[in-house]
Amino acid sequence: MSSYEDFKNRFKLLAGKNRHLVVNTLSNIFTMRLIGNKTHGDLAEIGIVEFINQFMYDFKSIHVGKDLFRAKEHEEDIMIMSEISKTKFPVSLKAYGDGLLQLSTDSKQKMFPFLEKQGKEIRDNRKIEAIFNASEFFDFGAINVMPLIYDEKNQRCNIMIFDHKKARDNINKIIFIDKGQRFDFMTGRVVPGKGRSHPIYMFVDPKNEYICEVRYGGASANALQRGLWTHTKNAIDYFDSLTNGWIDYSHNHTLVKLFGLALNSSEEGHKVANEILQKDIDRLKKL
């Protein structure tokens, strides 16, 4: 078992036995959406790092930092170390709404052009296996992605991990869908459709059910229009929930006020506040 697999199992166990800890942290993280639509994503990185350090005794974590991993051309945001095996592994945190989820940016734009060379409909199992063994698909499952998914309308959240191995084992065909087209899941055919502005390659299982997709990888494509994507609603059978299902959360307006005060107070005040907050965390550990 890899260190990341061990970490996921331990996290799931913690969420089952001490659900209040996960609910509290995720509620605070998604409260940050009150400050800004993108704020919660960045603060989730330092929040989850501290969660690991405070509550997962067999692991330690650090925030890698934007400049560092950009310079190294990695997608990971945090580094986690196992105190038992003394190994470390990077993790990419994603804070997304319940729907489309990017698993890899494919920053070097390799996956889509490679699939174009294979044809518009790939059904042969040996050819599909060869695709996944190709260097262009090395990133499929190579990046440890930990998505924090939120359903803002119903104020609930979930940590859902995409099962790359199960997906790969169940892919029955890979189909090209051009702009102005869509895939008919009833008939298993590509038909005219509206709304798509860029082409994709869709991966489906033997029942013609959606698994994931590779988006357009041309020079004009931005980060949202390329790479490997899936859908938390349409591919639910290919996800494992570390929170053991959906968690209801509520907004913490006191936390928003705390941020406002912290930005206008001195470091001396921050030190006093940190001591108070640590005492409260220690109290939560005993619940």
Per-residue pLDDT tens over the stretch 18-63:
999 999 999 999 999 999 887 888 899 999 999 999 999 999 999 9
The 10s digit of each residue's pLDDT in 230-244 is 999 999 999 999 999
Predicted confidence (pLDDT) per residue in 121-180, tens digit:
999 999 999 999 999 998 898 889 999 999 999 999 999 999 999 999 999 999 999 988
pLDDT at 72 over 50: no
* pLDDT interval class at 78 (50, 70, 90): very high
Over residues 96-112, the pLDDT tens digits come to: 999 999 998 888 889 99
pLDDT score, position 67: 52
What's the average model confidence in pLDDT over 253-270?
Answer: 96
239: phi > 0 → left, psi -120 to 50 → alpha, else beta; which? beta
- The percent of residues in the chain predicted with pLDDT above 70, rounded, is 94
Pairing of strands 156-162, 78-82: unpaired
Q: Which residues contact 17 (CB under 8 A, 6 or more apart)?
A: none
Instruction: Check pLDDT > 50 for residue 262.
Output: yes
What is the reported pLDDT for 211?
A: 97
89, 193, 195, 226, 236 from 57: Cα distances, Å: 16, 51, 48, 38, 31
Q: How many CB atoms are located within 10 Å of the residue 262 CB?
A: 11
Q: What is the pLDDT of residue 139?
A: 84
What local confidence, expressed as pLDDT, does residue 84 receive?
A: 92
Can you give the pLDDT at residue 71? 46
User: Which pLDDT does position 74 carry in this prediction?
Assistant: 55
DSSP 41: H
Query: Which of 40-49, 188-197, 219-228 is modeled with the greatest confidence?
Result: 40-49
Distance CA 12, CA 150 (A): 18
Average pLDDT value for residue range 188-210: 90
pLDDT at 66 over 80: no
Q: What is the pLDDT of residue 50?
A: 97
Q: Which amino acid is at 3?
A: S
The answer on pLDDT for 75 being more than 70 is no
Question: Which pLDDT belongs to residue 68?
Answer: 52
Mean residue pLDDT of the chain comes to 91
Question: In a 3-state reduction of DSSP, which class is residue 192?
Answer: strand
